[in-house]
Each structure stands twice: as structure tokens, then as C-alpha cells.
Amino acid sequence: MSKEIINYYIDEMKDSTLYKSLAEIENDENVREELLKLSSMEKEHAYFWKDFLERKGVKVEEFKPSLTIGLYKLLRKIFGLAFTSKVMEMGEAKTIREYYEFYRKADLSEEEKEKLKQIIEDELLHEDIFHKMSSSEK
């Protein structure tokens, strides 16, 4: 189970870094602000997983961004916001399913359940934001 949760942490940090990187190259001020907001939320989610692991005695190594960030920036430049948003929306849907399964099966404290429930709600919001981004680009 620890490996699964470490992957949740890494994925949230990766998404936080990705959204911040995409915001840096975004020309539309509204989209830039949304991406920065998403980046901040994902970082909070990552800290939840890191704290969860550390309370269980698992040491969490420092996150190092991967080449995936550059790939998404390239996708954004070549294919535009709509396509890139659709890809990110699919990633959010996968995360929601994984977190829901974890929520149902894991032995969590009431506080952990509440926080994870909020994270799942955030991820649903993220999915909706990406759907709107992919629908709004002309």
C-alpha cells in the first residue's frame, strides 16, 4: 500500500509542477490564473499524502520533476489548449477513481476521510475546469 500512496504523492507533485509550468507559458490571463490555482491545490493534495505516509513511518523522498513536464508544454505549443486540457482531464478522471477506491478500502481516521473526501471533490472540480478549457478554445 505504501508504494501506491507514494505514487499518489508523486502524481500530485507532478501535476502541481505541470500546471505551474503551463501557467508560465500561457497567454490568456484567466487560464493562467486557473492553472496557478490548480497548481496550489495539487501541492496541498501532495502534502496530505506525504503527511499520511510519514505518520505511517514511511520516509518520502524529495520530488524531482520528470521529462513529462516538457512533453506537456510541447503538446500545449503544438496542439493548443483544447487538446492538452483533454489529456489532463483524462488524468483527473483516473485519479478520482483511484482515490475513491482507496477511500472505500483503506483504514482511515475520520480526519483523513474528511480530507480525502475534499481532495476527491477538488479533483472533480479540476476535471470540470479542464473540460471547460477544452470546450472553450476556438
130 touches 88 (CB < 8 A): yes
Residue type, 113: K
- Domain borders along the chain are 2-136
Residue range 2-136, CATH number: 1.20.1260.10
Report d(CA 15, CA 17) in Å as an integer. Answer: 5
Query: pTM of the entire structure?
Result: 0.87
- Each of the 138 residues of the chain gets a pLDDT tens digit; together they read 689 999 999 999 999 999 999 999 999 999 999 999 999 999 999 999 999 999 999 999 888 888 888 888 899 899 988 888 888 878 888 899 999 999 999 999 999 999 999 999 998 888 888 878 777 654
